Amino acid sequence: MTRAAPAREMSILKYIPEGLYGFAADDSGQVFFHLGSFDPGGPWMFHPRCSTCPKEGCPWGHTSPPPVLGEPVQVELGDTPAGDGQAPRAVKVTRIHAPLTVEGFVVAFDAPRGFGFIRGTDEVSYHLHRCEMVDGRLPQLGQRVMFYAGMRQGKPRACHARICL
C-alpha cells in the first residue's frame, strides 16, 4: 500500500459550480477536486448583509462559499495514479482562511458578452463574469452587489456575486 503524499499549499485555479468540481494549482501542476472533498474550514464566520439591504433573512454569508478563485488551500492527494492526460485527484482540499467579502457597485456590464466590472468599497476594480452570478440574474449599471474577492491570472475577480435589493 502506498502512502498519500503530504498536504501542500496550492491556489484555486478554477471552480465549475454546475459540475461541483474544480482545479487547484501550484508551480508543480494542477490537481482535480470534487466539491465533496472541499473542507471550508471552521468554524465558519458569518458575514454581514449589504449595508443597505432591506431584506430580512438575507442568505448572504450565512453559509461557507464554494471555492473562490485564487484562494490558498491545503491539498492532500490520494495514492491512486492519474490516468493519461488527467490531473491527479485530491482527496481533501482545505480552505486556509475565510475569503474576503466585498460590497460594491456595478460600474460596467456588457450583457451580450457576459462580463463587466464592479468597484468595491475597498476602491478595487473587480472583473465580473456572468458565470459568477449566484442567482443567474445579470447585474445592471449602478446596482449594489456583494461578492467574494478572488484572483484570476493575477487580477482581482468578483466570485459568487449576488445582487443586493
Per-block mean pLDDT, blocks of 10 residues, the chain (165 long): 72 91 94 93 57 60 82 89 79 91 95 96 96 89 94 94 86
Give me the phi and psi of 100, to 5 degrees please.
-75, 125
Q: How far is CA 13 from CA 50, 62, 77, 141, 162, in A?
A: 28, 24, 16, 28, 21
- Note the pLDDT of residue 44: 54
Adjacent-strand bridge partners of 84? none
CB-based contact 141:127 (threshold 8 Å) = no
- Note the pLDDT of residue 165: 72
**Residue ranges of the domains in the chain?**
8-95, 101-163
CATH topology of domain 8-95: OB fold (Dihydrolipoamide Acetyltransferase, E2P) (2.40.50)
CB-based contact 157:127 (threshold 8 Å) = yes
CB-based contact 141:117 (threshold 8 Å) = no
Domain with residues 101-163, CATH architecture: Beta Barrel (2.40)
Number of neighbouring beta carbons within 10 Å of residue 58: 16
Give me the phi and psi of 132, to 5 degrees please.
-90, 0
- Note the pLDDT of residue 1: 47
- Note the pLDDT of residue 36: 92
Q: Do domains 8-95 and 101-163 have the same CATH topology?
A: yes
Adjacent-strand bridge partners of 150? 157
